[in-house]
Amino acid sequence: MKKKKDIRREEIIKEAALLFKKKGVGGTSMRDLAEQVGMDAATMYHYISSKDEILKTICFDIANTYVTQLAEIEQANLTLTQKLKALVKLHIHLMTTMGAEVSVANNDWKYLSPESLQEFKNLRKQYENKLAAFIETGKQAGELREVNTSVALFTLLSAVRWVELWWRQDRGISIEELENSILTILFQGLEKNGNMES
């Protein structure tokens, strides 16, 4: 069971992510946040010490989720293609369930304090390198096409970035349809008989 204090802290961070996404980290004050969560500032400081701490918590929660899940997927008994698909699904999943946090981690990491910034960049690099290694191995194993590895890496990561901006429950597209359409495009291609031409 989570402690009451931890739950309250998480609620504050959740609201902070929404405000950061809407008004930017620079445009959000601790006073705005206190107002949003309906506390006076003094009470809020009982749970969280600064905007820096909030930003750090959001960015590293997301980064650690990616790194942890990647490690699990790496160990799983799956083909390289299945592993890559699982990672793309993970990105879509985080964007549909924690859109504001993902947006902050994607766009506002540059405002982290210097040592956090370096640590965050290292985690991201580590994640990208592992993903690149999946693609490289998949090519060597004949599972994946002979495309440039860096281009494939960034195309996969970038191709799902719009989801966080666009997806809402009321768009009339289920998460399943969203996932299936994206995975189909990226792994089978939009063109119906595209494989025959090659």
Closest contact distance (angstroms) between CB of 40 and a copy of itself is 30
- Chain centroid to CA 72: how far? 16
Phi-psi region at 113: left, alpha or beta (left = phi > 0; alpha = psi -120 to 50): beta
Which residue, 107 or 126, is less far from a copy of itself as judged by CB? Answer: 107
Neighbours of 56 (CB within 10 A): 19
**Terminal CA-CA length for the chain:** 55
Closest contact distance (angstroms) between CB of 139 and a copy of itself is 9
Closest contact distance (angstroms) between CB of 94 and a copy of itself is 16
Which residue, 68 or 129, is less far from a copy of itself as judged by CB? Answer: 129
Which residue, 24 or 46, is less far from a copy of itself as judged by CB? Answer: 24
Which H or E run contains 56? Answer: helix 51-75
Closest contact distance (angstroms) between CB of 98 and a copy of itself is 18
Contacts to a copy of itself by CB under 8 A? 81, 84, 135, 142-145, 147-148, 150-152, 154-163, 166, 171, 173, 177-178, 180-182, 184-198
